[in-house]
């Protein structure tokens, strides 16, 4: 799922190396002295579901997920705690879609559910940076996030028996990642790659406790890869 994101990441790192070999002037020399600064980000995401099945009345249950690439955009508020540590709030919108295949069912109407989601994604992140070297500064990211799923259909009275797959509206994640700050003449450019992992079970179970769609599911939680390009 994440191979292409890591290939893009390696391409960015090679570009950074070429840039630093060419560039000797230190740009934005006092940028990191600011107590608070702001920015925005654009990016791509690819979200999957981690699935754990359980024993149920459904024999030979087999469920798989096929993700697609989505888009994310948001704002950044950065608070400097220490010369190598920053606290960041990064609220934004995230869209993606997934197909869930219930391979133990025979008809196409029953065996496929398309889950298209739009989230309010609100991460609180700690950013651990190395000391600056010329115009670059690598960093690590770790934090937690809250997701509000606008398209969860949690309150919908219809369930999979009427063709409606439901998710929970309020969800929580943890995030880890790596990136690099690149100090340009007018602004700081910061590409990063991060993984996100759901903490809570996101599935909304069907009304029927023996539902062929949800009865076999013990846990369903988002896991994904983000490629973010931040401008600060």
- Each as own residue / partner, the long-range contacts of residues 149-157 (CB below 8 Å, 24 or more positions apart, any chain) are 149/117, 149/118, 149/119, 150/117, 150/118, 150/119, 150/120, 151/116, 151/117, 151/118, 152/117, 152/204, 153/204, 154/204
Residue 166, domain member (yes or no): yes
Q: Does 210 map to a domain?
A: yes
Tokens 């390696």 -> residue = 10
* Digit-coded pLDDT (tens) for 26-49: 888 888 889 999 999 999 999 889
The pair of three-digit structure tokens given for residue 39, joined into one six-digit string: 């920015």
Cα radius of gyration rounded to whole Å, the chain:
21
Q: Is a pLDDT exceeding 70 seen at residue 22?
A: no
Return the CATH number at 91.
2.40.160.20
Q: Look at phi and psi of residue 83 and say left if phi exceeds 0, alpha if psi is from -120 to 50, else beta.
A: alpha
The predicted pLDDT at position 26 comes to 84
Give a yes or no: residue 102 inside a domain: yes
Task: Tell me if residue 11 falls in helix, strand or coil.
Answer: helix
pLDDT at 171 over 70: yes
Note down the domain range covering 195. 3-28+39-231
pLDDT band at 11 (very low <50, low <70, confident <90, very high): low
Phi, psi dihedral angles at 6 (to 5 degrees): -70, -35
* Other Cβ atoms closer than 10 A to 227: 24
Q: How many domains would you assign to the chain?
A: 1
In a domain, 33, yes or no: no
- Residue 190 CA to residue 54 CA, distance in Å, equals 42
User: Lowest mean pLDDT: which of 35-39, 112-116, 171-175?
Assistant: 112-116
Residue 226 lies in a domain: yes
Task: Please state, as a whole number, how many other Cβ atoms lie within 10 Å of the Cβ of residue 177.
Answer: 20
Residue 34 placed within a domain: no
């Amino acid at each position: 799922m994440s191979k292409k994101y890591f290939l893009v990441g390696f391409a960015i790192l090679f570009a950074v190396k070429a840039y630093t070999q060419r560039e000797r002037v230190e740009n934005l020399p006092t940028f990191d002295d600011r107590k608070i600064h702001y920015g925005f980000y654009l990016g791509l995401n690819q979200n999957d579901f981690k699935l754990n099945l359980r024993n149920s009345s459904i024999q030979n249950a087999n469920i798989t997920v096929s993700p697609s690439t989505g888009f994310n955009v948001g704002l950044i508020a950065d608070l400097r705690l220490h010369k190598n540590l920053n606290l960041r709030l990064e609220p934004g919108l995230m869209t993606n879609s997934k197909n869930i295949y219930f391979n133990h069912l025979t008809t196409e109407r029953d065996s496929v559910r398309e889950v298209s989601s739009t989230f309010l994604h609100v991460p609180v992140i700690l950013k651990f940076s190395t000391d600056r070297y010329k115009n670059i500064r690598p960093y690590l990211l770790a934090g937690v996030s809250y997701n509000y799923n606008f398209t969860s259909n949690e309150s919908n009275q219809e369930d999979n028996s009427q063709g409606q797959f439901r998710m929970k509206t309020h969800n929580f994640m943890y995030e880890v990642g790596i990136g690099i700050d690149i100090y340009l003449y007018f602004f700081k450019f910061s590409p990063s790659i991060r993984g996100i992992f759901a903490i809570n079970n996101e599935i909304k179970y069907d009304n029927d406790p023996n539902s062929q769609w949800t009865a076999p599911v013990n846990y369903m939680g988002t896991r994904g890869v983000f490629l973010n390009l931040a401008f600060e």
